[in-house]
Structure 1
Amino acid sequence: MLKTYVINLDRASERMAYMRAQLDGQSFAYERIAAVDGSKLKPPIPGFDERGYNLLHGRRFHPGEVGCYLSHMEALRRFLGTDCLHALILEDDGALPADLAAVVEEALTAAEDWDILRLSSVSHGHKFPVRRLPGGHELAVALTREKGSGAYLVNRRCAEVFLRRLDPMRMAWDIAYDTEYLMGLKALLMMPLPVSQTGGPESQIQIHNHLYKLPRWRYLTVFPWRAWVETNRVIHRGFRLLTLKWLYRRS
């Protein structure tokens, strides 16, 4: 059983209309999550660690990023309030394929291989295929950071672990949930990526990022953290890549 959520600000009705036009033709129902409006948040904010955010992310309070993060966490809570086994979480700016339902069904045939499956990314690093799916897509491992959180599938274990380990917020959502390997979770990408984050409405967060960056000297705390995270990413995902390559070497 699958639940589908679309994260959308109340004041972004045009973006919801954009998503509705793409989803209404699909064979599954979806539920809108009223996104947390960061512009209405005033520190201190429950679920937001401002000191940790400054130290690990190198930015001052960014209302858009905080609202986005809290919205994704709410989608996970909503999912765990159901008896469904998987959730498809969508932001409201993705260009969806006309056969999204079939793509999701194809992904679920290999649900034993992942706790979280990315269906979109805004990064261009090399992805290493490990398993071919019946519909022609492939599952792949990324050894570099994958940014963007426009579309992804999660199972219940992933939702439970994220809600426990990623609260409070200390970095942007797409950076935080891309450290799943530090939490004992399995992540893969679906290739070619079914959902594009470049063909829809302009991001409401990224265009203002430069306004919230802290002085360069403050990155003295950020760089060691990033180096540790990236080193662990290569080690953990590299080992998983080799394991899956061996497991599916005949496919």
Structure 2
Amino acid sequence: MSIPIYVINLKGSTARWEAVSASAASVGASLKRVEAVDGRQLLQEHWRDFDGQHFLRWHGRTPLGSEYGCYMSHLKALEQIVANRDPFAVILEDDARFEPDFAERVEAIVSIGPQIGIVKFFNHRMRGFVPKLRTARGDRLGRCLHGPLGSALGYLVTCETASKLLSGLRPMQLPYDIALGRYWIYQVPFHTTEFPLVTPDRTGTETTIGTREVYRKTKLPKFKRLGALKFRACDYIRGVWGALRRR
């Protein structure tokens, strides 16, 4: 497979690297490791490219160090794509596992051309899928009426799109998976596959971001989350409009 695959992996997470490497080998893919930023080791006052005021207002809770690290790690991967001038590239988190026909399906997506922009390979939620394109392998690419989709487990980007994302995604104002899906802000083409090309590891790999209990503790009181409610309503409307657009 000729398309580079960048995998975000924390220093010392050798078991996760070995597991994703084995999955890649099973489909004939080779990986490029991107050392993840460990936000858990950084004091918040040392966070760069972070807008805490908007994060609280738009997301309704305090950020986790692991979320900051995740965000900066994805930006690091995008920077490498731009620096290497990769026409197309895949970014994965290290708990991604490849579907058996991954390589063939990615090649078919790329053959459509640079107008694909971003193509997500996996989502936590897929409601109201609206197809826009079909690959030679039969994959339908489209957008969803109902968002956010959740997850930044795996996606493909063009070099031009990566460059635009690097400008538009700074500073961090939301968790990365939510920010990535706001394509109308960055003016980039956005698609998701109807069916996954990668799936998360199901063997009990511990999350490096945070559990539901941890997230629950970071929420602001309800009366302080009204701004987040308004923000989500506006983004929801924009997402519906984006899904219904012809291209």
Q: TM-score, normalised by structure 2?
A: 0.91
Counterparts of 1:179 and 1:198, CA distance in 2: 26
Partner of 1:219: 225
Counterparts of 2:196 and 2:29, CA distance in 1: 20
Give 1:17 deviation, angstroms: 1.3
Q: Deviations over 1:28-48 (max 9, x none)?
A: 432111111121011221111
Identity of aligned pairs, percent? 26
Contact 1:5–1:33, Cα closer than 8 Å, also in 2: yes
Stretch of structure 1 that moved more, 10-19 or 195-204: 195-204
Which of residues 228, 231, 244 is equivalent to 1:238? 244
Give structure 2 stretches of 5+ with no counterpart.
none
* 2:112 pairs with 1:119: no
Contact 1:19–1:92, Cα closer than 8 Å, also in 2: yes
* 2:208 pairs with 1:204: yes
Q: SS state of the match for residue 48, structure 2?
A: coil
Contact 2:168–2:185, Cα closer than 8 Å, also in 1: no
Between the two proteins, the alignment pairs up a number of residues equal to 241
Which of residues 52, 55, 65 is equivalent to 1:53? 55
Counterparts of 1:77 and 1:86, CA distance in 2: 13
Partner of 2:153: 150
Read off the aligned partner of 1:74 and give its amino acid letter. Answer: K
Read off the aligned partner of 2:178 and give its amino acid letter. Answer: I
Counterparts of 2:141 and 2:182, CA distance in 1: 18
RMSD: 1.7
Partner of 2:109: 107
Read off the aligned partner of 1:156 and give its amino acid letter. Answer: C
Give 1:66 deviation, angstroms: 0.7
Stretch of structure 1 that moved more, 149-158 or 17-26: 17-26
Q: SS state of the match for residue 243, structure 2?
A: helix
Contact 1:128–1:142, Cα closer than 8 Å, also in 2: yes
Give 1:61 deviation, angstroms: 2.9
Q: SS state of the match for residue 90, structure 1?
A: strand
Counterparts of 1:62 and 1:31, CA distance in 2: 27
Counterparts of 1:173 and 1:167, CA distance in 2: 11
In structure 2, the CA distance between the partners of 1:198 and 1:213, relative to structure 1 (3 Å rule), is: farther
Stretch of structure 1 that moved more, 145-154 or 230-239: 230-239
Partner of 1:228: 234
Give 1:231 deviation, angstroms: 0.9
Partner of 2:177: 174
Stretch of structure 1 that moved more, 45-54 or 130-139: 130-139
Partner of 1:20: 21
Q: SS state of the match for residue 196, structure 1?
A: strand
Contact 2:88–2:157, Cα closer than 8 Å, also in 1: yes
Give 1:227 deviation, angstroms: 1.2
Query: Could you list the runs of 4 or more consecutive aligned residues of structure 1 that deviate by over 4 angstroms after TM superposition?
Result: none
Counterparts of 1:61 and 1:70, CA distance in 2: 13
Q: SS state of the match for residue 81, structure 1?
A: helix
